[in-house]
Structure 1
């Protein structure tokens, strides 16, 4: 009986992260791994040119992506979000990362830059399409079944050639069935300032699908407030490396 319950719980957890119809009453923590020049870096406020290798982490001694994946797996995490900044900034994708994810036995949402538009999802990897790679907001209508990230900076959703108000973008998103919607507040990433709860609440009120939030989350209190709003998963890096957050579900 215990084995059967364990299998059922695992099945439910996998359904949550894969974006199917069943949603959990718990909120899931998804660790973020930012990779630049092949090593794990500390992302701060979207200023990518200033990102430095991670230091003083309670999780790892060296900024090695493989070491971090193994440690997160040991802690009970099953899924991660990976920003391949070499792919995003220089179109030089770290193609060894999906192999590492699979070897560790995890799943990942991966942002590899504009080339992610041309890649198909696999059993272990879902490729994230960020709005910053789209030339027009109308291109969102072609992304049914994909994982899409609203890349917010300076209060606007960033696209390749312009930025738009969130309400306008949400009106377009409501016309397409996305697999998952991510909201990443780049101004708050790595700052420990806390999430923009009012804005996140507005998005949740307009979007009923699987909703994942990242940027500024600093505490269990922040996570529980996001849970109360109806957020399904939260992306966290800094608070994990500081030892403030240390488990998968809340």
Structure 2
């Protein structure tokens, strides 16, 4: 299983939110480039980054930061937030981003997902964020009447190979991942599943490994010191990249 340390960007700064609430944003690190370099020094191969401003405004807002982190850290990067069209997808992939994450648009314009997958294959991932099992969109500000499992199955039919799943109620809370929903998702589709939200400590990493997941995103746990990144990477084995 791969471990993906997370850096979320809002107003040009590294922040974390609680349950997707923008009013809870608080700065967790001084500089995204040096933070990413620190993750690399601890053995990371990947980094997960989110353009929070982009997610809220439905357009990319911090592109220079992401390309700088990619260039200077040497890490493989997956990036989401505000990516709503083929032009933006192409821009990021042509500027070194390894995998783009399409979120809200997966529900609102599934045809774009299919077009993107046909053009870029496994460099396209879909982020499914849910509240009580129902898909949330637009920076988690809106909740739909679509089940996360139904959307995942639709995305698999469109050719998507990687899904990042977040239970919003767990995000930024350090209360542990939603193992039940993650297990149901992993059984429902053949896509690689990356878990996000709630991871606190090494026991959570082991629990996710037991489910046979592809990856785990760790954010607040790293910044608050409840999880040691190097130890998590060593435990997970990083055998699927």
TM-score bracket relative to the smaller structure: 0.7 to 0.9
Which residue in 1 is equivalent to 2:64? 96
Count of aligned residue pairs for this structure pair? 217
Question: Structure 2 matches for 1:1-250, cutoff 5 A?
Answer: 27-54=1-28, 62-90=29-57, 91-97=59-65, 98-115=67-84, 117-118=86-87, 119-120=89-90, 121-122=93-94, 123-131=96-104, 134-136=107-109, 140-144=113-117, 145=121, 146-159=124-137, 162-243=144-225, 244-247=227-230, 248-249=233-234, 250=236
- Which structure 1 residue ranges, 4+ long, deviate > 6 Å from structure 2? none
Relative to structure 2, which stretch is displaced further, 93-102 or 160-169? 160-169
**Structure 2: stretches of 5+ with no match in the other structure:** 237-241
Alignment TM-score, normalising by the size of structure 2:
0.81
CA contact (8 A) 2:60 2:82 kept: no
SS in 2 for 1:190: coil
Q: Is the 8 A contact 2:79 2:97 kept in 1?
A: no
Task: Report the TM-score when normalising by structure 1.
Answer: 0.78
> What's the Cα RMSD here?
2.2
- Between structure 1 and structure 2, the one with the greater Rg is 1
Distance (whole Å) between structure 1 residues aligned to residue 97 and residue 114 of structure 2:
25
